[in-house]
Amino acid sequence: MTRRGMLARIGAITASAAVLFTAVPGAATASTQAESLFWIRFAAGVQRCLDSNSAGSVYTHVCQDRNNKQKWNNYAPGKFKNKASGLCLAAGTSSVFAGSCEVNASDWRTSSTTNKYFTNVSTGLCLHNSGGQAEAVGLRVCRAGTALWTVTKLRS
């Protein structure tokens, strides 16, 4: 069996299992389990959160509790998916955008400190922003103070 065929078969089995669990009363489902969402905040003292829209733009904006465009989850190790758009944080050679979660451009490493560097695995550069309102997020050398972010877990 080809790899593509194997992946399609696994996807079908997973979908069947999801239907089975949804049909059984009291069974745990994705909709009943708490989704771990968080803000990615610019760490330089201004209250700006990483925000995204359905067009794939990534920018900072004043943090708002009810704004799903500012809510992210750790979709898979090193991948951050936006709640509103379903797109993952990604980077090209000089830009940051929201795109497919299936590409290497959406792979990130974060430092273990409170103020974190979000380093794109493909470019070796970090998320960067000066904290302006509706300001595009870019890439920069990781040692810069404008490349530090904090992660704030949100209540479900």
The answer to whether residues 76 and 140 belong to one domain is: yes
Cα gap 9→11, rounded to integer Å = 5
**pLDDT recorded at residue 65:** 87
Q: What is the pLDDT of residue 156?
A: 57
pLDDT of residue 102: 95
Residues 27, 47, single domain; the answer is: no
> Reduced to 3 states, what is the DSSP secondary structure of residue 90?
strand
Cα 149 from Cα 77, distance rounded (Å): 18
Total number of domains in the chain: 2
Instruction: Show the low-confidence residues of the chain (pLDDT under 50).
Output: 1, 3-34
pLDDT of res. 124: 96
Token couple for 89:
């944080």
Which residue reads 């970090």 in tokens? 126
pLDDT value, residue 92: 95
Residues 46, 19 share a domain:
no
For residues 14 and 81, membership in a common domain is answered with no
**Tens digits of residue pLDDT in 56-100:** 999 999 999 889 999 999 989 999 999 999 999 999 988 999 999
Query: Do 84 and 148 belong to one domain?
Result: yes
- Host domain of residue 138: 38-153
Sign of the alpha-carbon dihedral angle for 76, 93, 61, 42: positive
- In angstroms, the CA 125 to CA 137 distance is 12
Same domain, 52 and 113: yes
Same domain assignment for residues 111 and 45? yes
Same domain, 18 and 87: no
CA 128, 133, 136, 137: dihedral to nearest 10 degrees? 20
Supply the pLDDT for residue 20: 25
Same-domain status, 24 and 49: no
- Whether 57 and 126 map to the same domain: the answer is yes
Check whether residue 26 and residue 102 sit in a common domain: no
**What tokens were used for 57?**
């733009």
Give the H/E segment covering residue 120.
Answer: strand 116-120
CATH number at residue 114: 2.80.10.50
